Amino acid sequence: MKTYKHRALLLSFITILALGTIILFAKTTSAESQKKIRIGATVSMSGKFSTEIGPFKQLMEAYATTINTRGGIYVKSAGKRLPVKFIVYDDKSDGPTARKFYERLISVDKADILLGPYSSPVTFAASVAAEENKVPFIAICANSDKIYNRGFKWIVCVIDAAPRYTHRYWDMIKAEGWAKTVAFVVEDTLHPQGVYRGAKNLVDSAGLKEVSLNVLPANTHDFTAAIMKIQKTSPDIVFVSANVPFSIAFMRQARELSLTPKEFHVIHHGGVFKNGLGAGSEGVVGQSYWTQGMNYGNPELFTEVMKLSGISLDDFPWAPAYMMAFETATQAIERAGSLDREKLMATLKQLKVMTVGGVVSFAENGVGTINTYPSQIIGGQYHIIWPPEVATARHEYPGSKN
Amino acid sequence: MIQVLISGLFLGSVYALLAVGLSLAFGIMGVLNLAHGSLAVLAAILYKKTLVLYPFSPWTFCLLATPIFLGFGFLLHLIIVAPFRNLSLSAGLVASLIASLGLALILEDLLVCWQGWEPISTNIIFPTYNLMGLKIPGLRAILLGMAAVTIGLSTFFLKKTDPGRSMRALAQDKEAASLYGINPGFTSMGALGLATILAGLAGIFYSSLYPLGPREGIDLTLKALFIVVAGGMGNLRGPAVAGLVLGFIESFAGVLFTYTSTDTVVYSLLVVYLVLKRSGSRQ
Amino acid sequence: MKPWQMSLSIIILTALMMSSAVFSKGYVGIFVFSLIINGTMAVSYDIPGRSLGLISLGHAVFFGLGAYCFGIAYSNGFSFFPALILSVMLSVVGALMVTFLMAGLNHGYYSLATLGILIIFQRLFETLESLTGGSAGLYIPETLSKLHCNLLAAFLLLATAACHALFFRSRWGLYSKETEASEEAAEAIGIPTRTVKILCLMTAAIPACMAGMLHLARTSHVSPVSGFSLTLSITALLASRVVPVKGLLGPLLGALLITAAEEVIWTKFEGFNHAWFGLILLVAALYQGIDFRRKKTISAAVENPLSR
């Protein structure tokens, strides 16, 4: 009898929970104030990208707090400054989940503008929701060509396309003229593959020769065979196109097995990489959106937001790209003078705005202009090394320390 | 070729250590502990946090941490084994699976809260030795030795000591073991304690070589599960050998076939082997 | 199944059918669609789960197989229904191969082998990049309106529920119960246990394959990780077991509970989403353990009043 009662209770509980969910959806819509600028986004707080951008909800909230303490964003049609509110969900690093939450951001939370999720595959799926519902969507760290070749009208991206990700580095190598051969180590995932394909073309046009190509799965734990293969070709540059965990594991073993090219280039060599390798990271060149000392836009605002969020730039080098997206959204709202989605999108398409990482504008297909700068770990610090007008230190080569 | 073989040995030793604890828990208690990998991550974080304060060597820390993980094991027993001891084999398996998954998810969030989002990488520097043209990384060699000692000691414990024999008896026949005066609750608590120590040590070793995200616990468990499947459940030797074999296969991947087809080859071989093995045993 | 359980099951199915027609667009449309897909996965999972006592950790193999077969067929120029028919045929062959391999295994070995199969398919489909799009997955344009996708999914759930009910009432249901109790004894009385297992597993596999196809048609994207998903497999397992009620009602309520709980936690709780979800799982598991022990205590007291 008691068991039966427990079960009956449980069943009631389930029904209430299920109904409650639907009721809560409706409540959110009507409960939300209309006097706020609602910016919707998802962040990969779980899943494979969580180590890359897990705490970025704090970055968004810190930006909102900073802007709101200054009075908010001026919206001409409202005749006053409106406070900003970020509505953020965890997309679990998964495309369909992200798409579902973007649908929620549009239909339940009534977001005025959307910021994209992290990575190309997730953005690919999520941007469909924005396109179908005609809501402005600013993609951030998603530069695969596939996203922008679909003819979508409601998407723009602050950063440049993946194939051009390292063009400044190869410009520098060509100008310096000391390197002749390159060996590639590529993680078999979308972004590293895209960067590799671009780098391969840039290498060819810079007159360098590819002497070894090693495409490895993301979960590779032993690189001995690849390292020995590279050693036989004695390349001037070993170019590692991979995400951070893969890069750390590769570099650790490369150091152990005395792989000594003139230079290691690791596309993502942020703080986690540096801390994970310690002295082994010294001299490694990589790509950065921003380092201390760059003076584009409003670096003080960025520093303030980072401080408030408690996020370290070294650990999360994508933070500047997110800041550029915030600045772009802010400028688009101010210049449109309205939260009307069509006006916002039209303004975004025409926008040319100075951000912390440089000037952002968009091509016809939505691809942006922001690109990374080659940076080197010198004395444990990151320094931009090219182009000369932005560089904060001179490029050291041969850079690898044994 | 020999260099690749040595690297395979190093990698395999870490896999072996990861798998033996899980095998022990499954073999003795019929528990599929999905929190096994999360406990390994917990150990890795504990080691990283301790390193900041005291520069312990891996072996000193492992010695000091053993009682802590034994305690975690006892606590784990109260959550994923004790409440289901009266259930049937199938119901018990499901209940422990759900409970351990729940625990793994709770641990994930707590670990992110404690450690942050970035991967754990302990960054211990050891020199690389040159032995007749072969490169022997000091840290990997030390970890290999420690893994061998740990598995050896655990095997000795299970085979030559009374508590170990009790655990094996419990694995073979719970009722008969009870008739011989073995306390199933106490013994299985000890077995889970030992399994948790092994998980902890595996986490410390793993994070010394590879970055380990705070949410990677369940992935680690899956890796360990595979090795257990290949090696057999309830003993230490089988998973240890299977771990080493997996290490060799992964190391030779780039030599024998393309890296990208490694997983397909490894997992296909494992399932074919499993099906053949089980079909054979049925007949 | 008791009459009140059957009535409640019918009410839930009817409500889901109606919801699929009314709420086809936007977020609520996706939520209703995931309720239906999770329901299909849970009900199909429950067929071998309850009848043979087999605990699969790889039920999503069939889901992914169906999704990929459909995606590949559609990408190669087939329109929706021909692609659907072709992919049903292809995935039935694939599912048959998988179930044929798995039918020889029991208990823990079965669970682990199903997990192995899941990961093999994940890696295999990552490797076959030219066909499957590799780790980034396969994208197809919208093939059918959202309303039609939701309705088809609802009919699939209805058909799966009918299969569930019919299977347990058929002689194959009885055979599978006998097989679960003792395979040797069942064989001794002439039950073809291997055929029973394959039939039972295929009854569960086909709806899961079709759920995968419809999911791809609705969301336009499948990747090896999201198609051959351990999370989806475990969700099906949990949904079929979390509510301790036998018959169709158990997995249906379980799917509602798990999907709704996950949704509420992921949208309404600030941080600690995993921990909250984990806590629900832990409580559900402990409830099963406690519930069983209560029953045992009561029955022991009835059998031996002096024990009180």
Say yes or no for a CB contact (<8 Å) between C135 and A107.
Answer: no
CB atoms near residue A300 (< 10 Å):
9
Torsion of CA C106, C108, C113, C118, to 10 degrees: 120
| Confidence band of B271 (pLDDT split at 50, 70, 90) | low
What are the chain B neighbours of C116 within 8 Å (beta carbons)?
A: 226, 229, 267, 270-271, 274
Alpha carbons B70 and C267: distance in angstroms, whole number: 37
Contact predicate A239/A184, CB 8 Å: yes
Give the C-alpha separation, C164 to C44, whole Å.
Answer: 7
The predicted structure's pLDDT at residue A31: 44
Q: Per-residue confidence at A6, pLDDT binned at 50, 70, 90?
A: low
Domain extents in chain B: 2-282
pLDDT of A20: 61
Residues of A with CB below 8 A from C294's CB?
Answer: 2-3
From B99, B110, B228, residue closest to C285, measured CB to CB: B99
B129: three-class secondary structure by DSSP: strand
Contacts C263 to A, Cβ<8 Å? 21
| A5 has a chain B CB within 8 A of its CB | no
Top-confidence residue, C70 or A189: C70
Between B237-256 and B217-231, two packed helices, what is the crossing angle to 10 degrees?
A: 100
- Helices C230-241 and B89-115 cross at an angle (nearest 10°) of 130
CA–CA dist B222, B145 (Å, integer): 25
d(CA C48, CA C202): 9
Residue A350 phi, psi dihedral angles, 5° rounding? -95, -5
Please tell me which residue of chain C has the smallest CA distance to A133: C26
| Average pLDDT value for chain A | 87
Rounded to the nearest 10 degrees, what angle do helices C193-219 and C26-51 cross at? 170
Q: What is the largest CA-CA distance in chain C?
A: 75
Q: Helix crossing, B184-209 with B162-172: angle to 10°?
A: 100
Closest partner residue to C268 (CB to CB) among A24, A96, A124 is: A24
* A171 and A281 assigned to the same domain: yes
Mutant choice from C61, C128, C281, C293 vs B, greatest count of B C-beta within 10 A: C281
Q: How many domains does chain A have?
A: 2
Task: Tell me how close the Cα of B263 comes to any Cα of chain C, in angstroms.
Answer: 6
> Do A99 and A188 fall within a single domain?
no
Tens digits of residue pLDDT in A214-273:
988 887 888 988 999 999 999 999 999 998 889 999 999 999 888 999 999 999 888 888
A8 in any annotated domain: no
Q: Which residues are bridge partners to A37 per DSSP?
A: A84
- Do A157 and A171 reside in the same domain of the chain? no
Task: Check residue C13 and give its pLDDT.
Answer: 92
Phi, psi of A294 (to 5 degrees): -80, 140
| Among A55, C251, A207, C160, residue whose Cα is nearest residue B112 | A55
**A236, A263 in Cβ contact below 8 A?**
yes
pLDDT at B135: 83
pLDDT tens digits for A288-309?
A: 888 877 778 888 999 999 999 9
Choose the mutation target among B28, B80, B105 for the interface with C, i.e. most C CBs under 10 Å: B105
C241 touches chain B (CB under 8 A): yes
Nearest chain B CA: its distance from C31 CA (Å): 23
Any chains having at least 3 CB pairs less than 8 A from chain C are A, B
A102 and A204 together in one domain: no
- How far is the C-alpha of A188 from the C-alpha of A197, rounded, in Å? 12
Question: Which chain B residues are Cβ-neighbours of A282 within 8 angstroms?
Answer: none
What value does the mean pLDDT take over residues B131-135?
81
Give the torsion sign (CA, A121, A125, A128, A129). negative
Closest partner CB to A276 (pick from B121, B251, B260): B121
Q: Which two tokens stand for residue C170?
A: 């058929």
User: Mean pLDDT throughout B137-146?
Assistant: 86
- pLDDT tens sequence across B6-17: 888 888 998 898
Mean pLDDT is highest, among B69-73, B242-246, C110-114, for B69-73
* A304 within some domain: no
Q: Is the pLDDT of residue A37 over 90?
A: yes
* pLDDT at residue B263 tops 80: no
Residue A16 pLDDT class (50, 70, 90 cuts): low
Q: Judge whether C293 and C76 are in contact, CB under 8 Å.
A: no
**pLDDT reported for residue B212:** 86
Q: Is B90 at the interface with chain C, CB within 8 A?
A: yes
Q: Identify the band that residue A310 occupies on the pLDDT scale cut at 50, 70 and 90.
A: very high
pLDDT at res. C289: 63
Question: Looking at the partner chain, which of A7, A17, A99 has a beta carbon nearest the beta carbon of C260?
Answer: A17
Interatomic CA distance for residues A38 and A30, integer angstroms: 14
Q: How far apart are CA A248 and CA A236, in angstroms?
A: 20
- Specify if A82 maps to a domain: yes
The number of angstroms, rounded, from the C-alpha of A402 to the middle of its chain's C-alpha atoms is: 31
Of C123, C230, C285, the CB nearest to B264: C123
Burial (CB count within 10 angstroms: exposed 0-12, middle 13-18, buried 19+), residue C77? exposed
Would you say B9 and B185 are in contact if contact means Cβ atoms under 8 Å apart? no
Q: Which pLDDT tens digit goes with each residue over A56-115?
A: 999 999 999 999 999 999 999 989 999 999 999 999 888 888 999 999 999 889 999 999
| H or E element that contains C64 | helix C60-75
> In whole angstroms, what is the distance from residue A211 CA to residue C213 CA?
43
B260 touches C: beta carbon within 8 Å:
yes
Q: Which residue of B has its CA nearest to C292?
A: B87
Does residue A390 form part of some domain? no
Q: Is the minimum CB–CB distance between C277 and chain A shorter than 8 Å?
A: no
CB distance C135–A188 less than 8 Å?
Answer: yes
**B118-141 average pLDDT score:** 81
Cα torsion through C20, C22, C28, C32, rounded to 10 = -20
CB contact under 8 A, A189 and C136: yes
CATH of the domain at A178: 3.40.50.2300
- Co-location of A195 and A181 in the same domain: yes
Q: Which two tokens stand for residue B11?
A: 């990698």
Q: How far apart are CA C229 and CA C125, in angstroms?
A: 12
A18: nearest CA in chain C?
Answer: C260
Tokens of A371: 């690109």
**Are residues A252 and A129 located together in one domain of the fold?**
no
Taking alpha carbons only, the member of A170, A168, A140, A177 closest to residue A155 is A140
Q: Are residues A80 and A143 in the same domain?
A: yes
Task: Give the separation between CA C200 and CA C96, rounded to whole angstroms.
Answer: 11
Partner residue facing C285 (CB), from B26, B102, B109: B102
Q: Does B282 touch chain C (CB under 8 A)?
A: yes
Q: What is the pLDDT of residue B283?
A: 37
What does the pLDDT read at residue C306?
39
Cβ-Cβ pairs closer than 8 A, A with C, add up to 106
Which of the other chains make 3 or more beta carbon contacts under 8 angstroms with chain A? B, C
Residues contacting residue B83 through CB under 8 Å, at least 6 positions apart: B95, B99, C285, C286, C289, C290
pLDDT of residue C308: 33
Residues 240-299 in A contacting B (C-alpha not used; CB under 8 Å): 244-245, 248-249, 252-253, 256-258, 271-272, 275-280
Do A172 and A285 reside in the same domain of the chain? Answer: yes
| Among B258, B275, B276, B282, the residue to mutate for chain C (most C Cβ within 10 A) | B275
Is A396 contained in some domain?
no
A281: containing domain? 166-266+269-292+374-384
Min CA distance, C254 vs chain B (Å)?
A: 13
Distance CA A59, CA A63 (A): 6
For C287, nearest residue in chain A (alpha carbons) = A6
DSSP, residue by residue, C167-195: HHHSHHHHHHHHHHH-HHHHHHTT--HHH
Question: Among the listed ranges B145-154, B190-199, B225-234, C29-38, which one has the minimum average pLDDT value?
Answer: B225-234
What is the dihedral sign for C-alpha A320, A326, A327, A329? positive
Residues B5 and C141: their CA atoms lie apart, in Å, by 47
The fraction of chain B above a pLDDT of 70, given in percent, is 92
Question: What is the overall mean pLDDT for chain B?
Answer: 83
Confirm whether A23 is domain-assigned.
no
Question: What's the per-residue H, E or C state across chain A?
Answer: CHHHHHHHHHHHHHHHHHHHHHHHHHHHHHHCCCCCEEEEEEECCCCCCHHHHCCHHHHHHHHHHHHHHCCCEEEHHHCEEECEEEEEEECCCCHHHHHHHHHHHHHCCCCCEEECCCCHHHHHHHHHHHHHHCCCEEECCCCCHHHHCCCCCCEEECECCHHHCCHHHHHHHHHHCCCCEEEEEEECCHHHHHHHHHHHHHHHHCCCEEEEEEEECCCCCCCHHHHHHHHHHCCCEEEEECCHHHHHHHHHHHHHCCCCCCEEEECCCCHHHHHHHHHHHCCCEEEECCCCCCCCCCHHHHHHHHHHHCCCCCCCCCHHHHHHHHHHHHHHHHHHCCCCHHHHHHHHHHCEEEECCEEEECCCCCCCCECCEEEEEECCEEEECCCCCCCCCCCCCCCCCC
Q: Which chain A residue has the Cα nearest residue C142?
A: A128
Q: How many CB atoms lie within 10 A of CB B203?
A: 30
| Interchain proximity B8–A50, CB inside 8 Å | no
The 3-state DSSP class for residue C221 equals strand
Mutate which: C30, C230, C270, vs A, most A CBs within 10 A: C30
Query: Six-digit token pair at A86?
Result: 């970020």
Please report the number of interchain residue pairs, chain B to chain C, with beta-carbon separation below 8 angstroms: 142
The C-alpha atoms of residue A178 and residue C135 are separated, in whole angstroms, by: 36
B106, closest residue in chain C (CA to CA): C275
Same domain, A254 and A155: no
Share of chain B above pLDDT 90, in %: 15
What whole-number distance in Å separates Cα of residue C28 and Cα of residue B25? 43
Residue of B222, B267, B269 to mutate when probing chain C, most C C-beta within 10 A: B267
Do A116 and A252 lie in one domain? The reply is no
Residues A151 and A172 in one domain: no
Are A173 and A125 members of one domain? no
Rg, C-alpha atoms of chain B: 19
Q: Residue A43: pLDDT above 90? A: yes
Q: Which two tokens stand for residue A125?
A: 């799926």
Query: Nearest CA to CA, how far is C289 from chain B (Å)?
Result: 5
- A352-387 in b/e form (b: 16+ CB < 10 A) is ebebbbbebbbeebbbbbbbbbbbbbbeeebbbbbe
Distance of CA B246 to the CA centre of its chain: 14
Topology at the third CATH level for domain B2-282: ABC transporter involved in vitamin B12 uptake, BtuC (1.10.3470)
User: Is residue A353 included in any domain, yes or no?
Assistant: yes
Q: How many CB pairs under 8 A join A and B?
A: 113
Kind and range of the H or E element at C68?
Answer: helix C60-75
Q: Are B84 and B184 in contact (CB under 8 A)?
A: no
A196-205, A332-341, B161-170, C241-250: least confident range: C241-250
User: Measured between CA atoms, how close is C32 to chain A, in angstroms?
Assistant: 10
Residue A109 backbone dihedrals phi, psi, to 5 degrees: -85, -10
Nearest residue in C to B104, CA atom:
C278
Q: Sort C151 into a burial class: Cβ within 10 Å, 0-12 / 13-18 / 19+.
A: middle
**Which residues make Cβ contacts (< 8 Å) with residue A372, sequence separation at least 6?**
A165, A166, A168, A287, A288, A289
B277 pLDDT band, cuts 50/70/90, is low
**Which is nearest to B143 in space by CA: B1, B47, B227, B263?**
B47
Chains with at least 3 CB pairs less than 8 angstroms from chain B: A, C
Q: Among candidates C210, C203, C169, C165, which has minimal Cα distance to C36?
A: C210
Q: How confident is the model at residue B280 (pLDDT cuts 50, 70, 90)?
A: very low
Q: Distance between CA atoms of B176 and A367, rounded to whole angstroms?
A: 71
Q: Does C253 touch chain A (CB under 8 A)?
A: yes
Residue A391 lies in a domain: no
A182 forms bridges with which residues in the sheet? A210, A237
Q: Tens of pLDDT along chain C (308 residues)?
A: 677 778 888 988 999 999 889 888 888 888 899 999 999 999 999 998 888 888 888 899 999 999 999 999 998 888 888 988 988 888 888 888 888 877 777 666 777 778 778 877 887 888 777 788 877 788 888 778 889 999 999 999 999 999 998 988 888 888 888 887 777 788 888 888 888 888 888 989 999 999 999 999 988 888 888 899 888 888 898 888 877 777 888 899 889 888 888 888 888 776 677 888 888 888 878 876 665 555 555 555 544 443 33
- Say yes or no for a CB contact (<8 Å) between A257 and B262: no
C-alpha distances in Å from residue B133, one per residue of A256, B3, C306:
14, 9, 79
